[in-house]
Amino acid sequence: MNTDSPFLSPDDGCAAGDHGPPRVAVIVPAYGVAHLVGEALTSLQRQSLRAWECVVIDDGAPDDVAGAVAPFLGDPRIRFIGTANHGVSAARNRAIAVTSAPFIALLDGDDLFRPGYLAAVVPVLEADPAVRLVTCNARVFGAVPRVRMCVERPQPKHGTLAAVLDRSFNIYIGTTFRRTDFDTVGGFDTRMAQSEDFDFWVRLMLLGGTAHYVDEILGEYRVRPGSASASAGRLLLGNIRAYEKARAALAEGAPEIALVDRLLAESRAKLAFEHAIDCIIDGDTQRGLKELRQTRGQVDGPAWRAAFVIWRFFPALARPMLRWRRRAHSRGAGGSSLFPSMLESEG
């Protein structure tokens, strides 16, 4: 089995055995990753905590996910479901509905768990009913200019709603939470085309309690060329919708209201900036540059200041320069120091 990760060796054929009732259900959406899902399932079979169940869901994928999963179905803990394509939120909701364990862990079909992941996160939820979700650090690899960690700055052990909202508390996608909380908030919002994970974390935190961070590298997050979340504008629209929903859910006088209002204003200003760039890339340079100058407070630094000077005298250069910026900041490209991205990629 080929993998870019040095932490996964070929499956040794270990038997599932009888591990008692599952303590956690692992949900594996596998759209378009038939060539990778075997690695995800092997990483699951290598967990030191053995009492789990797993559902792999093929959300109408164009490749042969069923064939890729078939060799793993001899493990009675692993099941496969195929559905029409309705998006990752619907796929996760459908898969969770056919499981029974008290906790839910997310493992995307192109990602990996390190062997101690479930053993580290499940006991946290079992021990403390105030914990809404458990997250960890992860290694980011694949189509990135350098291997890095999902959390690269100090992060507290416990995160509040405010810290989740402003992303000072980073939540890795391979996160585990309670089934009862999932049911209470209504699962993943199938109307969210972007930021569905962030929206779900926020709604969990609106129940009260804390988010728990395990300061260990317990996951492997693979970035693939051309994978989801391509456009800054779409990501911003998803964030704005999540903030709007949070604002509506907060009780009158809640201390987080001022924060949400600020985040909404900042996100809308960033969206206006991205729309101005879209204008220029689409060929309406004069209008786009006018709007860009009106929203230029979104960026700073000598490179941007120099660019605005260049575009004043040579406006035709704006389109190729900004097209290059978009390519450089598409997911997996890693960005550039010339035009730093205004969005941090989601783990």
pLDDT 10s digits, 256-298: 999 999 999 999 988 888 888 888 988 889 898 988 888 777 7
pLDDT, residue 227, reads 54
- Strand-pairing partners, residue 44, are none
pLDDT, residue 231, reads 62
Burial class (CB within 10 angstroms; exposed 0-12, middle 13-18, buried 19+) of 268:
middle
Q: Which residues neighbour 9 within 8 Å (Cβ) at sequence distance 6 or greater?
A: none
At residue 44's C-alpha, the angle toward residues 69 and 131, to 5°, is 125
Tokens read off for 213: 């961070």
pLDDT, residue 229, reads 41
Sign of CA dihedral 140, 143, 144, 147: positive
Delimit the domains of the chain by residue range. Answer: 24-223, 232-328
pLDDT, residue 142, reads 83
pTM of the model: 0.84
pLDDT, residue 344, reads 39
Q: Which residues neighbour 345 within 8 Å (Cβ) at sequence distance 6 or greater?
A: 229, 331
CATH number for 24-223: choose from 3.90.550.10, 3.20.20.30, 1.10.760.10, 3.60.21.10.
3.90.550.10
pLDDT of residue 299 exceeding 90, the answer is no
Q: What are the pLDDT digits (tens) for 16-64?
A: 456 789 999 999 999 888 899 999 999 999 999 999 999 999 988 888 9
The Cα 10–Cα 310 span in angstroms is 54
- Name the least confident of 114-123, 152-161, 202-211: 152-161
pLDDT, residue 337, reads 36
The Cα 264–Cα 156 span in angstroms is 25
pLDDT of residue 99 exceeding 60, the answer is yes
- Would you place residue 233 in the very low, low, confident or very high pLDDT band (cuts 50, 70, 90)? confident
- Report the mean per-residue pLDDT for the chain: 86
- Would you place residue 11 in the very low, low, confident or very high pLDDT band (cuts 50, 70, 90)? very low
